[in-house]
Amino acid sequence: MATMTALRNRAITVSALVPAAALLLAGCGGGPGRGSAAEPSGGPSTGAAAKAAADDAAVPEATTFTTVEGAPADAGRDAADGLVVHPPKPLPVHDRPGGRRVATLPTEQLGGPTWVPVVESSGGWLRVLLPSRPNRASGWIPGDGLRTARTPYLVTVDLGDRRLTLHESGKAVGRWRVAIGAAATPTPTGRTFVMAQLAPKDKKLVLPLGAHSDTLDTFGGGPGTVALHGWHDPSVFGRAATHGCVRVPDDALRKLSRVPLGTLVLIND
C-alpha cells in the first residue's frame, strides 16, 4: 500500500500540466462560456491483443473530457473508508460486476496519476467514482493488481453555509467560508473526489474535481470541470458568485495541497 507522502509527491508535475491547467482555469474563473449540447502487461497472443484494442476503441476513456454512457449513478452522500486505488495499466470499467464494459480507466489524469476512491465492493470487484460526465458517474473495476492507499482526509462543502471543512482522521482540522456557484451556474452536489493537482506557472494551485458544471457543457475552451482553487479578492468568500467552482482562501488552499489524489469531496446542499 502506498504511503500518503508518496501519493502526495506524485500528484504534481508542473511543466507537464501547464497546458491542461490553463484549459481548466478558463473553466473556473475566466469569462463566461456558453452551454452546448487509452497497455496490457505480459505477452498476450495477437488475437487477444487485437480484441483488447477493439474493446478499448469501443468505449471512451474515463477522463474529465469524456462522457461515459451507461455508467451507474452514485447516489451516496456519506464518507467511505478512505481506500483509493491506482490502475498500473488501463482497466475496463463495467456497469456492474462482470457486466457490460462502459469505459476504460486510464493510468493518468491531466498528466498525473489516476487515483480514484472506492465507494463499494462486491466479491473481487470495486465500485469507484469516475472523473467523467455525467456527474456522479461510477463504475466497477476488477480489484486485482491495483495499487492501493488510504487517505485520512475528507473534504466537505456545504453550499447552504458556503463553507468548506477539511477533516483528517474523522476530525475537522480547518473550516473556511468559500465562494460557490451562482444561481445560474450552481456548484453540483453529491460525492466527487480530488482528481488532480495543477500548479501552472505564476498561478495558484488548482485542484480539479471529478465533477462538472450542470449548466455549462463547455467553458472558456475547457470541459466545464469544477475545481477547488484560490481567488485574488477575499470579498468573494461567503458569496454565490462563481461559474460552479469553489473559490477558497489561501490558508485553505495551503492545507488542501496536502490532500492526496482520490480523496472524497462531499458537496451538500
pTM of the predicted model as reported, rounded to 2 decimal places: 0.85
Domain boundary among 150, 181, 201: 150
In a domain, 146, yes or no: yes
262: cell is 482520490
167 is annotated as an active-site residue: no
Tell me the C-alpha distance between 203 and 20, whole Å: 13
Tell me the per-residue pLDDT of 252-269, one tens digit each, with 9 for 90 and over.
999 999 999 999 999 999
196: cell is 488532480
132 and 178 together in one domain: no
195 and 250 together in one domain: yes
156 and 250 together in one domain: yes
89 and 119 together in one domain: yes
136 and 205 together in one domain: no
Catalytic residue among 167, 212, 229, 243: 229
Residues spanned by the domain of 68: 62-150
Residues contacting 161, CB < 8 A, separation 6+: none
- Cα–Cα distances in Å, from 263 out to 83, 127, 170, 208? 9, 15, 13, 12
Tell me the per-residue pLDDT of 177-203, one tens digit each, with 9 for 90 and over.
999 999 999 999 999 999 999 998 878
pLDDT at 41: 34
pLDDT at 53: 57
Domain boundary among 119, 150, 181: 150
Tell me the per-residue pLDDT of 220-234, one tens digit each, with 9 for 90 and over.
778 999 999 999 999
In a domain, 199, yes or no: yes
pLDDT at 221: 73
- Number of neighbouring beta carbons within 10 Å of residue 22: 17
100 and 162 together in one domain: no
Under the phi-then-psi rule, with left for phi > 0, alpha for psi from -120 to 50, and beta for the rest, what region is 6? alpha
In a domain, 47, yes or no: no
28 is annotated as an active-site residue: no
Catalytic residue among 94, 167, 212, 245: 245
Contact between 183 and 240 (Cβ < 8 Å): yes
122 and 81 together in one domain: yes
158 and 186 together in one domain: yes
What residues of the chain score a pLDDT lower than 70?
1-56, 219
In a domain, 242, yes or no: yes
For 17, phi and psi rounded to 5 degrees? -100, -5
Tell me the C-alpha distance between 130 and 115, whole Å: 10
In a domain, 161, yes or no: yes
In a domain, 46, yes or no: no
3-state secondary structure of 21: helix
Q: Which CATH number goes with the domain that contains 115?
A: 2.30.30
Strand partners, 27: none
- Number of neighbouring beta carbons within 10 Å of residue 77: 12
In a domain, 56, yes or no: no
71 and 144 together in one domain: yes
In a domain, 205, yes or no: yes
92 and 170 together in one domain: no
Domains: count for the chain = 2
Tell me the C-alpha distance between 154 and 259, whole Å: 8
134 and 210 together in one domain: no
Domain boundary among 150, 173, 188: 150
134 and 199 together in one domain: no
Residue with cell 474563473: 29
Q: Which CATH number goes with the domain that contains 249?
A: 2.40.440.10
